[in-house]
């Protein structure tokens, strides 16, 4: 019997984002708690888990942590400047999520096509 592991898209993304969060916290702890870098890595943690193409790039909002008007994209890019390895890890995670999304879309199209062929064959 062969041990073939099967994992779905949700759990792949969950593992990836969990690993990124653990790494983000490790980097965050290297900074002083009152520093801008620490705050950039701590407070907007949900932004790092969003797909980059879904981040708001146009409408700045006032963030009381930074006492400034920033877009979501600006917050993420500023925080990635804190550490090169964190930035590289973030972009690998983003690329992986995009590939998974594209693969899911293609598989869904293939399933629709196969069902249409099956209907044609049956009738």
- pTM of the entire predicted model: 0.81
Q: What is the pLDDT of residue 111?
A: 85
Beta bridge partners of 62: 69
The pLDDT score that the predictor gives to residue 9 is 82
Mean pLDDT of the chain: 90
pLDDT at 30: 97
Tens digit of each residue's pLDDT (9 = 90 or more) over 89-100: 999 999 999 998
CA 69, CA 112: separation in Å to the nearest integer?
45
Question: What H or E segment, with its residue span, contains residue 63?
Answer: strand 61-63
DSSP assignment of 1-45: --------HHHHHHHHHHHHHHHHHHHHTTS-TTSHHHHHHHTTH
pLDDT value at position 28? 96
Greatest Cα pair distance, the chain, in angstroms, is 70
- Per-residue pLDDT tens over the stretch 21-60: 999 999 999 999 999 999 999 989 999 999 999 999 999 9
> The tokens of 2 are what?
């062969």
83 sits in the region (left: phi over 0; alpha: psi -120 to 50; else beta) called beta
């Amino acid at each position: 019997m062969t041990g073939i592991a099967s994992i779905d898209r949700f759990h792949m993304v969950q593992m990836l984002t969990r690993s990124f969060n653990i790494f983000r916290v490790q980097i965050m702890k290297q900074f002083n708690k009152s520093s801008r870098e620490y705050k950039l890595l701590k407070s907007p943690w949900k932004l790092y888990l969003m797909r980059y193409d879904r981040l708001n790039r146009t409408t700045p909002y006032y963030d009381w942590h930074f006492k400034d008007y920033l877009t979501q994209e600006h917050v993420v890019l500023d925080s990635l400047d804190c550490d090169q390895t964190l930035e590289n890890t973030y972009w690998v995670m983003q690329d992986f999520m995009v590939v998974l999304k594209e693969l899911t879309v293609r598989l869904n199209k293939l399933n629709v096509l196969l069902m249409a062929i099956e209907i044609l064959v049956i009738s």
